[in-house]
Amino acid sequence: MSHIGSAGGQPGSQRATDRASTPSEPALAYAELVAGNRRFVGGAPRHPNQDAGHRAVVADGQHPFAVIVGCSDSRLAAEIIFDRGLGDLFVVRTAGHTAGPEVLGSVEYAVTVLGTPLVVVLGHDLCGAVQAARESVATGTAPSGHLRAVVDAVLPSLRRAEAEGVDDIDGIVDIHIAQTVETLLAQSPVLADEVARGRCAVVGMSYRLAAGAVHPVAAVPAGFATLDTPATV
């Protein structure tokens, strides 16, 4: 899989500078995401790593500090939400942030080959995939085409929400985010091993479309994520 975004090949000094400025620990990576989202919410983004010079630095190698397993919603652009740039985030998006084999393989590639220390499941309020799944259950009709695969992937989260007495859409979304975190770890022994060794963490975050802010709803290791974490890079 070495052809999927080379991890090496940059000139030595530029490559060393790029790696030195990249968070290499889960807590530092999380802190950078939190800091970037605060800048975005506050209307003071820095737009780091988006200039021509950095484009040249990362042209032949990448060292992203976070994997974003996000919903495909057009309003959920990770580099904008977290105020990051080229080479910072390894983004995998599907409707409803469903985690099929291709998603799992992409996450494993980033974590094991690129050495990315943080995986984030990024969902959002008023998620259309969750609403479609709930409508399918309510009407007893399955959607046509491949949309059915998206709905089927969300149904376990709906059943879990029902068992927990949660019926508001955003509460269900948060449960679905947590469910996706658990699915990634359960379906990928490779990722679970990286987490167990302390080399990686997995965090579920929910984005508020109007406010622009994210907040954690699940984390492995437990208690890892806190929005009080300061930026240190």
Reported as a single tens digit per residue, the pLDDT across 102-153 is 999 999 999 999 999 999 999 999 999 999 999 999 999 988 999 999 999 9
Q: Would you say residue 24 lies in a domain? A: yes
Q: Would you say residue 100 lies in a domain? A: yes
Q: List residues bridging with 89 in a β-sheet.
A: 66
Tally: H helices and E strands in the chain: 9, 5
* Number of domains into which the chain is organized: 1
pLDDT single digits (tens) 34-71: 999 999 999 999 999 998 999 999 998 999 999 999 99
**136-175 as b/e, with b when 16 or more CB fall inside 10 Å?**
bbeeeeeeeeeeeebbebbeebbebbeeeebeeebebbbb
Q: Would you say residue 7 lies in a domain? A: no
pLDDT at 17: 46
Residue 47 marked as a ligand binder: no
Q: Would you say residue 127 lies in a domain? A: yes
3-state secondary structure of 214: strand
At CB < 8 A and 24+ separation, what contacts does 183-191 make?
183/99, 184/69, 184/99, 184/104, 184/107, 184/119, 184/121, 185/220, 187/99, 187/104, 188/104, 188/107, 188/108, 190/108, 190/111, 190/112, 191/104, 191/107, 191/108, 191/111, 191/119
Q: Would you say residue 1 lies in a domain? A: no
Tokens of 12: 């030595």
Q: What is the mean pLDDT of residues 90-98?
A: 97
pLDDT at 232: 36
Q: Would you say residue 230 lies in a domain? A: no
Q: What is the mean pLDDT of residues 200-207?
A: 97
Q: Would you say residue 232 lies in a domain? A: no
pLDDT at 183: 97
Residue 124 marked as a ligand binder: yes
> Phi, psi (5° rounding) for residue 214?
-110, 155
What is the pTM assigned to this prediction?
Answer: 0.88
Cα 154 from chain centroid?
17
CATH number, residue 178: 3.40.1050.10
pLDDT at 223: 79
pLDDT single digits (tens) 149-168: 999 999 999 999 999 999 99
Lowest mean pLDDT among 8-12, 29-33, 107-111, 130-134: 8-12
pLDDT tier at 20, thresholds 50, 70, 90: low
Q: Would you say residue 157 lies in a domain? A: yes
User: What is the domain extent for residue 46?
Assistant: 12-220
Helix residue ranges, H only, the chain: 12-20, 26-41, 52-57, 78-81, 101-108, 128-139, 147-163, 169-187, 189-196
pLDDT at 11: 44
